[in-house]
Each structure stands twice: as structure tokens, then as C-alpha cells.
Amino acid sequence: MSLNTSIVKILVFGFLVLFLSGFDYSKHSIPKDEIYDGGPGKDGIPAIMKPIFVSADEAGFLKSKDRVIGFAYKGEAKAYPVKILNWHEIVNDRVGGFPIAVTFCPLCGTGMVFDAMIKKRKMTFGVSGLLYQSDMLMYDHQTESLWSQIRTAAVTGPLTGTQLKLLSSTQTTWEQWKKKYPGSLVLSEKTGYRRDYDRDPYDGYEKSPRLIFAVDNVSAKFHPKEKIIGVEFDDTVKAYPFSELEKHQGLVNDTINEKRIIIQYDKSSATASILDENGRELPSVVGFWFAWYTFHPETKVYTNKK
């Protein structure tokens, strides 16, 4: 097969992926040929639209070291087990009466919670089955625009260019979250779908240096799946690798764009958070190094100099 023939086949395949996915690409902010089919198809990974919760005492299906995405607002705290998110990736919910979208991309290790009120309209989200730079592309049910999770913006469709508001959440163990919020509610395994939530469909992926989908920007500074916590101020982004935070005893004090921040890290639960100088938690992103770097190749990186 000639090189020209191969290129034509790739282009035709890419066109078919976009055409058959059913989304409108006439308006877009990313190259259409960098949108890839992840495999399951639109809604092949079903988002949870009507989540059911149980009390912390009723969450016997969780082990102490199980990972959760935790979110608290106006006195209400909820935990979203990663072992459920692995199979659904999005939970449309309300916490403290506030509409949110809890999102998790297993390929990037990124759990991010967003304000679901966009332009004064409550939005709900589904899993498109498409990827950009190995990261999930969500779509909203109201306009069917595609949204890049890590880029935190709509990248195709009527809302192209619209930003998502990232909210403060925590990736931690169930044990740690329950200790901090003993009255927390927990997303139940009663999702309306038959899934083996005790089986990890991505078993072994986190330790492997291999990526399933290629990305544009690659850095060998750390293992591709090194966990980092990243934060953005204006046009400055910085990553704090967990392996570097582990070398430091206590809190890490830092300054970005003349703003003082405090990085908290608990080695026993591999939990990191970033606070402002008044102790308020800031929106941040916990995920794999490769994912942060490919979206932020200009990132600054914290290294322990001791």
C-alpha cells in the first residue's frame, strides 16, 4: 500500500468518525482531525442522570482505600466513587441545591467538577465517546456542543469557545473523605445499569508508561502517569508532582503571579489540595502528568530543592 493511499484512508476514516458521531462540526476551536473515536460511541458509556445516594454508614460496598471524588457545598458533602465513575464518567447532580457535573476521564486520571449553570441555563452532560488529546469530550444535551474536560471549554457546536467554571473538589480515599465529612452522602451502585463495579476496566493502565491514544505534547520529565496537582492563575499554570511533594515535610508555600498559595499533601492517602493565603481551597486539577503537560506544555513545575 502506498503512502498516499494510507493517508487517504486515514482521512476518510476520520471523516466517517465525525460524520457518524452525529455532532455538528461546522463551528470548532480545535482541529477536527484531532478528534478521535474512543470506541464505545455516543452514550455507549452512559452518564448518570438521576443519581441515587446512600449514607456513609450504608456504603458497605466501599473499602477504606477506594478512591473517590469528593465535593462539598453549603453544608452538603457527597462522594463519587471512582470505581463507579470508571464505568459512567459523568454524574449530573445537585449539591446544596447547586447544579454540577462531576466528570472523570480514566485515560487522564482527571476528576473535575463543573458548574452546570452556563449562560444562566442549567445544562446536563453525556459521554460523546470521542476524545481530544486522550481526554474525554463531553457533550451537552441542550445544544450537543462538545466540551473538552481538561481544556474546560466547548470546542465544537453552537457554544464553541464558552468556558466551563471549574469548582473545588478532592481526589482522595473513602477513608480520608469520610473522616473529614462523616455525614457525607455516597453515590450508590444502584445506577440503573448492570455493571461489575468491583472490576476495574483500566486495571494496570495507571502503572504502565503506555498511552492508548497519542498526544501532541510529550515530556519525559516524569513518568507519564505520575500524579500531579495543577493550578492556573491568569495565563500561568503550574504542576506539583506527587513524587516531589512526598519529599517535603509539611506544607509547601509558593507564589504564582504574586499570589501566595499553600499546597497540602497527605502521603498516606495520596491526597493533595491547594489553598489561598486565607486557607480557602482553590479549584485545581489532579491527574496524570502526560495529560496536564499535553494541554499545558508551557507549565511551570515544582521541584523540591532540599
Mean pLDDT of 212-225: 96
Q: How far apart are CA 133 and CA 119, in angstroms?
A: 27
Q: Tell me, what's the pLDDT at 306?
A: 61
pLDDT of residue 15 exceeding 60, the answer is: no
pLDDT of residue 193 exceeding 80, the answer is: yes
Higher pLDDT among residues 291 and 16, named by residue: 291
Beta bridge partners of 78: 71, 185
Using one digit for the tens of pLDDT, what is the confidence trace for 73-120? 999 999 999 999 999 999 999 999 999 999 999 999 999 999 999 999
Lowest average pLDDT, out of 33-42, 77-86, 138-147, 181-190, goes to 33-42
SS3 per-residue string spanning the chain: CCHHHHHHHHHHHHHHHHHHHCCCCCCECCCHHHEEECCCCCCCCCCECCCCEEEHHHCCCCCCCCEEEEEEECCEEEEEEHHHHHHHCEEEEEECCEEEEEEEECCCCEEEEEECEECCEECCEEEEEEEECCEEEEEECCCCCEEECCCCEEEECCCCCCECCEECCEEEEHHHHHHHCCCCEEECCCCCCCCCCCCCCCCCCCCCCCCCCCCCCCCCCCCCCCEEEEEEECCEEEEEEHHHHCCCCCCEEEEECCEEEEEEEECCCCEEEEEECCCCECCCEEEEHHHHHHHCCCCEECCCCC
Closest listed residue to residue 147, CA positions, set 115, 99, 180, 174: 115
| Locus of grid cell 502521603 | 267
Q: How far apart are CA 149 and CA 90, in angstroms?
A: 11
Q: How far apart are CA 188 and CA 84, in angstroms?
A: 9
Mean pLDDT of 12-23: 54
pLDDT of residue 9 exceeding 60, the answer is: no
Mean pLDDT of 14-37: 78
Contact residues for 6 (Cβ-Cβ < 8 A; gap 6+) = none
The model carries a pTM of 0.92
Q: Tell me, what's the pLDDT at 304?
A: 82
**Residue 297 CB neighbour total at 10 angstroms:** 12
Beta bridge partners of 277: none
Q: How far apart are CA 262 and CA 71, in angstroms?
A: 20
CB distance 100 to 116 below 8 Å = yes
User: Of all residues in the chain, what percent carry a pLDDT higher than 90?
Assistant: 88
Mean pLDDT of 33-47: 94
pLDDT of residue 136 exceeding 90, the answer is: yes
Mean pLDDT of 281-292: 98
Confidence of residue 250 (pLDDT cuts 50, 70, 90): confident
Mean pLDDT of 131-135: 98
Higher pLDDT among residues 109 and 16, named by residue: 109
pLDDT of residue 211 exceeding 60, the answer is: yes
Q: Tell me, what's the pLDDT at 1?
A: 45
pLDDT of residue 7 exceeding 70, the answer is: no
Q: Tell me, what's the pLDDT at 21?
A: 64
Q: How far apart are CA 204 and CA 58, in angstroms?
A: 29
